[in-house]
Amino acid sequence: MASKRKMTSSSTNMNFRPTGYDPQRQDTKGTRPTSNPTTVREVLLQVLMFLCKKIIFFDVNLKVALYLGSLFLVSLIGDFAPYPKTYFARSDNIFNVYFVKWGWAWTLVLSVPYLVLTSFILCCGNRGKLFKEHLPRIVIATFFWLTWTKAFNFIETMYGRCNAKGVDTKIACLKGGHFWHGFDISGHAFILIYSSLVLIEEAKPIIGWENIKEHLRNEDHNRNTREDSSSNPLRNLEDDEFQTVKEMYEKYTPLIRILFISMTALQLLWDVMLVCTMLYYHKMIEKVLSGIFAILTWFFTYRAWYPAHSLLPNSVGHGKFLYQKVKPQPAVPFRKQSLNYGNAGPSNRSNDVPKFMGMPIYQQKPVTVTTTE
């Protein structure tokens, strides 16, 4: 009997619900906010963005080697055994007239607004940092493009001759319907390679861009609940800076994605037109030299100058908060190694454990540290 009474009391307690209890409502105190369900449209957009990243961020060192090797080999074959003529062999084809001849303008039309929007967000709306640390990269690139193309034209004009006797200048030769023989370093090959490399470098802020959304959501939760998170890259921003980043990120990210997809399509077009230039235009030495000038200019600016941070401007993606994760550098023989975490800071040791489908294959043993007093 006592046992039965005890069970009845326990059952009554289990079914008890306080006044005002809502079974659909859960206590979320101390829990992180979760992201909204992903729609089909967002999934398709993510797939498209993934494909674009695979195209434009193809190993740039390998791409540079392919540029130089193709300029030499494909052009050399064309010098001795001309390729069959196609629509792209005509200088008046639509891509050459409306895109290649205006190549740098197309590059600026897409890269400048993309740079302004991404850098403005990373600088928390600070116009001074935008104009001082990021826009000068495009100005410098334009300066080198103009300098080299003028130099190529000067060399062709000064060290050439007309096929008609008594005509000493290139302008008079061409106006008279004659042909000017000169060392014509390929301006098209230069602009196509240099524009491609500039687009690849300036597009890099999109890497990890979606992570900012999660950082904003978590940091907003932390500030509302007065929790402290040492791992959130936005934790050191002032309240007005945080609010500025939040508003601009939500407002401009769709446009940034459109610009990035367009930059990828343009970079792909430049590669296609470069192949056409290799096949049908200029001599091998003229194309190889222009490619060397383009690659050296890109290497000097984006690989040597900007990452050094000794002189302005800053490197791509630099701002008031760090959101990109950089993998550790591979081991190099006879060289003292130091992990380069870039914008991410030191990584968690659990990241070093091999994973399959995101799950660790084995549990890493804890590391014990002993100290002596």
Judged by DSSP in three states, 197 sits in: helix
Q: What are the b/e assignments for 13-47, b being 16+ CB within 10 Å?
A: eeeeeeeeeeeeeeeeeeeeeeeeeeeeeeeeeee
Distance CA 296, CA 304 (A): 10
CA dist., res. 140 & res. 313, Å (int): 9
Going by their DSSP bridges, the two strands 161-162 and 355-356 should be labelled as unpaired
Residue 162 pairs in a beta bridge with 180
According to DSSP, residue 355 is labeled: E
What is the Cα–Cα distance from 177 to 90, expressed in whole angstroms? Answer: 19
Q: How far apart are the first and last CA of the chain?
A: 65
**Residue 122 to residue 112: CA distance in whole angstroms:** 15
Check 134, 188, 215, 318 and give the catalytic one: 188
188 is catalytic: yes
Catalytic residue among 134, 215, 282, 318: 282
The catalytic residue positions are 188, 282
